[in-house]
Structure 1
Amino acid sequence: MTAPADSLPDLVSLKVDLDGHVAEVTLLGPAKGNAMGPDFWRELPLVFAALDADPRVRAIVLTGSGAHFSYGLDLPAMMGGWAPMLAGDALAGPRTDFHREVRRLQESVSSIAECRKPVIAAVSGWCIGGGVDVISAADVRLASADAKFSVREVKVAIVADLGSLQRLATIVGEGHVRELALTGKDVDAARAEKIGLVNDVYPDQETLLVEARKLAADIAANPPLVVQGTKQVLAANTERQVAEGLRYVAAWNSAFLPSKDLAEAVQAFMERRAPEFKGE
């Protein structure tokens, strides 16, 4: 049996607070901009499994500490362990290991979608790459006026593989998700609201959190089993398509992600320069 939220072990990348029937999960980093490193991917499913199992919790607010929601994947922290799997001459063994790793990260993000308690993502500042994967798995997204969003994986020679390509189409529509994913462009809060990525935009982070907590409280005031049933019935509309898409992209990246362009993207990132891609 999963432990209740207040008996979780000491967390490094997340903080959980409980106020009545509303839980608040805050990204802590520890990297700059709440970048998502090994601790995050390990702790996220533990936290959402605990919140799912805790009968006191009826709704969840998910937000970031500091000025930003998340800069996305912590590349320096993650790439070291992935290097042998992504080598250009990697054979079946390392690629199988990488496929298993992608599926593990996918399951971590999916723990948000699979949690029976509705999740409201409250986004301030930057929400990049993996951050968009995470908020795509939430039920409702709200933003402050300074929020900026980017499905940026294409700019670092990666096919986004943790859920945004599978979930965003039902949120913003096929045309918008293609534009976001193929360009890697930045989208401000006003544009995000216009295309339906977020439901509402508030003037600042403080107001955003107040309103997110109010919305969570409104949800928590309803019959909990009916709320959970409503979320599960809504999920049934798309869960098979999402699951199939996640399996497909995990296999795709296991086969095709290792490339000279990926190595160039990582090197350019470390050297703080523009990459030069050659399609190799």
Structure 2
Amino acid sequence: MQHLQLTIENNIAHLVLNRPEALNTMGPRFWRELDEVLDALHRGNEARVLLISSRGKHFSAGMALDVFGSAIQLDDGSAAGRAAISDLLAELQATFTRLELLRIPVITAIQGGCIGGAVDLVTAACMRYCTRDAFFCIQEINIGIVADVGTLQRLPKLIPMGVVREMAYTGRRLPASRALATGLVNEVFDTQEAMLEAALQTAREIAAKPPAALWGSKQALNYARDHSVADSLQQMGWLQGVVWSGAQVQEAVSAMQQKRPATFAPLATLQRFMDASSDV
């Protein structure tokens, strides 16, 4: 991979945006690589948590500005051409939605600028840490378009609507201090090193928990965000019926009593039906 670097160690997947010389901007190769990584993590069971960080001064400046001028041509000269734009966007949206649908929790560690498409990315994660120099910007309004890959749908679920509207209408930067005050980020750190260590510590704690219970918790939280309490409670009953394991509870309790690390079975790997070897 050219744009991304992935390592998996001690059940922690660490994905690094690795083009600091280009401000970690997002071109077609970035989207292809990210889609492939997330698909592999979702289907595999080695990783129990995903941490996303980046190299360089800025987390990411978002979509590469030359993409729509050279790599991708948008036809706004006909109804048919404009209709095709929604299908193109659906592909990009689906990639970041993979972060929400991923069977494991996702943590993002953000330094410097988190701009445009980068906001789309981090709002699809479970939690966000940042440095004091970090800022968040809905850049799209500044270049004459509407943010279209998830920011305007997910950000209002994370921070007050008035703050979202201010960002979306003005293109102003939301600094780290205000991001913390509004609840967008979990914690702010003085240095990138301190932020990464804190994010890794959280990842270690998550990786030590039962994978099936983590999966169930993520499912329940995502569902509750978009549904009524009554509907979510009903879904919770079904979920608990799926993930409940007396042996797993006993192992967790025994490990606490004996002051030792617990041992839990990984999630099952996922297979594609169409990949099955069969002559039928």
TM-score band, normalised by shorter chain? 0.7 to 0.9
TM-score (norm 2): 0.78
What is the rounded CA distance, in whole Å, between the counterparts of 2:227 and 2:190 in structure 1?
37
Deviation of 1:238 (Å): 3.8
- Listed as ranges, the gaps of 5+ residues in structure 2 are 229-280
Q: Deviations over 1:65-107 (max 9, x none)?
A: 1121100110113332444424xxx113322332211111111
How many angstroms does 1:31 deviate by? 6.1
Match of 1:202 in 2: 189
Q: What is the aligned-residue identity percentage? A: 37
Residue of structure 2 in register with 1:229 after alignment: 216
Q: Is 1:63 aligned to residue 50 of structure 2?
A: no
Determine the structure 1 residue equivalent to 2:98: 111
Q: Render the CA deviation track for 1:217-276: whole Å, top value 9, x for unaligned.
A: 1111111100111001111134589xxxxxxxxxxxxxxxxxxxxxxxxxxxxxxxxxxx
Gaps of 5+ in 1: 1-10, 242-280
Q: Quick one: which amino acid aligns to residue 128 of structure 1?
A: I
CA distance in 1: counterparts of 2:214 and 2:83, whole angstroms: 39
Report if the CA contact (8 A) 2:20-2:58 is conserved: no
Distance 1:66 1:214, change over 3 A: same
- Once residues 62 and 228 of structure 1 are traced to their aligned partners in structure 2, the CA distance between those partners, rounded to angstroms, is 19
- Give the structure with higher Rg (CA): 2
2:209 counterpart of 1:219: no
1:47 aligns with 2:34: no
Number of equivalent positions = 228
Q: Aligned with 1:75: secondary structure?
A: coil
* TM-aligned CA deviation for residue 59 of structure 1: 0.5
Deviations 1:183-239 (A, max 9, x none): 110121111111111010011001110000000111111111001110011111345
1:19 and 1:135 map into 2 onto residues whose CA distance is 22
Output the CA distance in 2 between the equivalents of 1:238 and 1:91.
38
List structure 1 runs of 4+ shifted beyond 3 angstroms: 81-84, 238-241
Report the TM-score, using the length of structure 1 for normalisation.
0.78
1:112 is displaced (CA, Å) by: 1.0
CA root-mean-square deviation: 1.7
Amino acid in the other structure paired with 1:129: G
The aligned amino acid for 1:154 is I
The 8 Å contact of residues 121 and 141 in structure 1, kept in 2 or not, is answered as yes
> Cα distance 1:210–1:41, how it changes in 2: closer, same or farther (>3 A)?
same
SS at 1:43 equivalent: helix
CA contact (8 A) 1:37 1:74 kept: yes
The answer to whether 1:183 aligns with 2:173 is: no
* Match 2:152 to one of 149, 157, 165: 165
